[in-house]
């Protein structure tokens, strides 16, 4: 997710779609295994690295770091470092990320409902 070969068709297609519509741009920022879940966990309060790690089942240090970095870069998280030892770093949603709350709630409701419908298959 970090380093991309900007000349690949894959990359070019991604960019084309990003330019094309805000939906694909959003998917690009929010896609992947952990990102929406991280935002979701931060919905009510700021959390520090280790707290996120505890409540995200199975995530590794490396993946958590990567995802937090990208979310920060993309303007979805604020990162606050407290100069203590051992270190304390807190993450919280940006205003823009908070505007997404109703969207992921709707997605969650749809997912739950759709799963019911799909159970036979």
Q: Which residues bind a second copy (CB under 8 A)?
A: 9, 12-14, 16-17, 20-27, 29, 31-33, 36-37, 40, 57-59, 73-75, 96, 99-100, 102-104, 106-115, 117-118, 121
Longest Cα–Cα distance in the chain: 54
Q: State the Cα–Cα distance between residues 2 and 59, nearest whole angstrom.
A: 17
In the chain, the N- to C-terminal Cα span, in Å, equals 32
Q: Which of 87, 13, 79, 2 is nearest to 47 (CA)?
A: 79
46 touches DNA (CB under 7 A) = no
4 touches DNA (CB under 7 A) = yes
Count of residues of this chain found to bind DNA when the rule CB under 7 A is applied: 34
86 touches DNA (CB under 7 A) = yes
């Amino acid at each position: 997710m970090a380093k991309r070969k900007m000349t690949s068709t894959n990359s070019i297609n991604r960019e084309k779609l990003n330019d094309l519509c805000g939906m694909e741009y959003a998917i690009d920022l929010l896609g992947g295994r952990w990102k929406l879940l991280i935002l979701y966990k931060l919905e009510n309060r700021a959390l520090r690295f280790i707290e996120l790690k505890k409540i995200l089942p199975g995530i590794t240090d490396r993946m958590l770091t990567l995802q937090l970095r990208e979310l920060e870069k993309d303007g979805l998280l604020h990162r606050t470092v407290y100069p203590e030892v051992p270190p304390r770093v807190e993450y919280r949603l940006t205003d823009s990320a908070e505007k997404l709350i109703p969207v992921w709630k709707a997605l969650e409701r749809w997912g739950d409902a759709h799963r019911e419908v799909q159970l036979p298959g």
